[in-house]
Amino acid sequence: QVQLVESGGGLVQPGGSLRLSCAASGSIFSINAMGWYRQAPGNQRELVARITSGGSTNYADSVKGRFTISRDNAKNTVYLQMNSLKPEDTAVYYCNAHGSTWLLEEFGSWGQGTQVTVSS
């Protein structure tokens, strides 16, 4: 079993910044990729940013230049630095990780979600 615990959400004014963190724990042998997704009311869950174990990243067009994803492989933790936040960034943000357990079984896990609200 692999668990993901997110933190760092909250209420921020437009133009402000937030930093999300997600720590993975459990029977982890390796993590191939970690990412952040978001889901606003009435919308489908969408990819925000993703980072591989080698450091390759990709971002949704709507957040390029404003958000930065990073990763601490030693801590099995992924971060999302969000700058210049806009009201349309308001959503529940979910952490995701894919990898292998010590039993060499593939896993794909989701965090419980953290609310980000951008409003004046």
Inform me whether the pLDDT recorded for 75 exceeds 90.
yes
Nearest-5° Cα angle at 14, 9 to 20: 20
> Per-residue pLDDT averaged across 34-60, rounded?
96
Contact 8, 17 (CB under 8 A): no
| Residues making up the chain, counted from first to last | 120
* pLDDT for the residue numbered 19: 98
The type of residue at 113 is G
Q: Could you read off the pLDDT of 95-120 as tens digits, one per residue?
A: 999 999 999 899 999 999 999 999 99
Q: What percent of the chain has pLDDT over 70?
A: 100
Least confident of 27-31, 60-64, 79-83: 27-31
pLDDT score for 1: 87
User: What per-residue confidence (pLDDT) applies to 40?
Assistant: 96
- Of 37, 79, 35, the closest CA to residue 62 belongs to 37
